[in-house]
């Protein structure tokens, strides 16, 4: 996976995420859908994986709260309301904007050798980052579904 393709994937994901989140409030982000996770958990989960992208690229963290890793990782309990470790929607949105900028900068700084370097489970750094971007796209789509379940119009047209 080349750097420019990764930059384009992050740009598309960030735009779709922003569109899907338009008009959300913190309380709406906590609304538990009939199946799956609420938008708040999905945002924290995306943020956690963006930090993992930065680590794979050898870049410093974007500055996410350490509690995000515990509260929003795979297998963590659903977020069903405000409580211990649950981040404010506005805080998650700001951190996602910053992490997108950091990832874009890190990918642009990465040379071909960095992206081609062995990383994890037989994947290169570039493949690992691309996999996490695909994973992010899946969750961005889930946020779109949560949006519609809340009675908001679809955002991607």
Q: For residue 67, what pLDDT is reported? A: 64
Contact 100, 60 (CB under 8 A): no
pTM of the prediction? 0.94
Query: For residue 126, is it within any domain?
Result: yes
Q: For residue 100, what pLDDT is reported? A: 97
pLDDT higher than threshold 90 for residue 153? yes
**C-alpha torsion angle, residues 34, 36, 37, 39 (rounded to 10):** -80
Range of the domain at 60: 3-149
Q: For residue 66, what pLDDT is reported? A: 64
Using one digit for the tens of pLDDT, what is the confidence trace for 20-73?
999 999 999 999 998 889 999 999 999 999 999 999 999 998 876 666 778 899
Query: For residue 27, is it within any domain?
Result: yes
Answer positive or negative: Cα dihedral of 147, 151, 152, 153: positive
Query: For residue 41, is it within any domain?
Result: yes
Query: For residue 157, is it within any domain?
Result: no
Query: For residue 40, is it within any domain?
Result: yes
Query: For residue 154, is it within any domain?
Result: no
Query: For residue 91, is it within any domain?
Result: yes
pLDDT band of residue 84 (cuts 50, 70, 90) is confident
Average pLDDT, the chain: 93
The CATH number assigned to the domain holding 58 equals 1.20.120.450
Q: Please, what is the Cα angle at 129 between 62 and 65, to 5 degrees?
A: 25
Tell me the average pLDDT across 124-128: 97
Say how many domains are in the chain: 1
Query: For residue 155, is it within any domain?
Result: no
Among 11, 53, 16, 5, residue whose Cα is nearest residue 138:
16
Q: For residue 68, what pLDDT is reported? A: 73
Instruction: Annotate the chain with DSSP letters as a single string.
Output: --HHHHHHHHHHHHHHHHHHHTT--HHHHTPPPSSS--HHHHHHHHHHHHHHHHHHTTPPP----HHHHHHSSTTPPPP-SS-TTPPPHHHHHHHHHHHHHHHHHHHHH--HHHHHSEEETTEEHHHHHHHHHHHHHHHHHHHHHHHHHTTPPPS--
Using one digit for the tens of pLDDT, what is the confidence trace for 89-115?
999 999 999 999 999 999 999 999 999
pLDDT higher than threshold 80 for residue 127? yes
Residue 1 CB neighbour total at 10 angstroms? 18
């Amino acid at each position: 996976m080349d750097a420019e393709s990764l930059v384009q994937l992050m740009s598309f994901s960030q735009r779709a995420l922003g569109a899907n989140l338009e008009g959300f409030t913190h309380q709406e982000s906590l609304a538990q859908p009939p199946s799956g996770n609420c938008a708040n958990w999905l945002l924290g989960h995306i943020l956690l994986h963006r930090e993992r992208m930065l680590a794979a690229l050898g870049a410093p963290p974007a500055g996410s709260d350490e509690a995000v890793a515990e509260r929003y990782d795979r297998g963590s309990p659903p977020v069903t309301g405000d409580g211990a470790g649950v981040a404010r929607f506005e805080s998650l949105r700001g951190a996602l904007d910053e992490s997108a900028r950091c990832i874009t900068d890190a990918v642009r700084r990465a040379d071909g050798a960095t992206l081609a370097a062995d990383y994890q489970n037989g994947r290169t750094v570039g493949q690992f980052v691309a996999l996490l971007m695909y994973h992010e796209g899946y969750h961005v789509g889930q946020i779109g579904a949560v949006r519609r379940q809340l009675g908001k119009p679809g955002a991607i047209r």
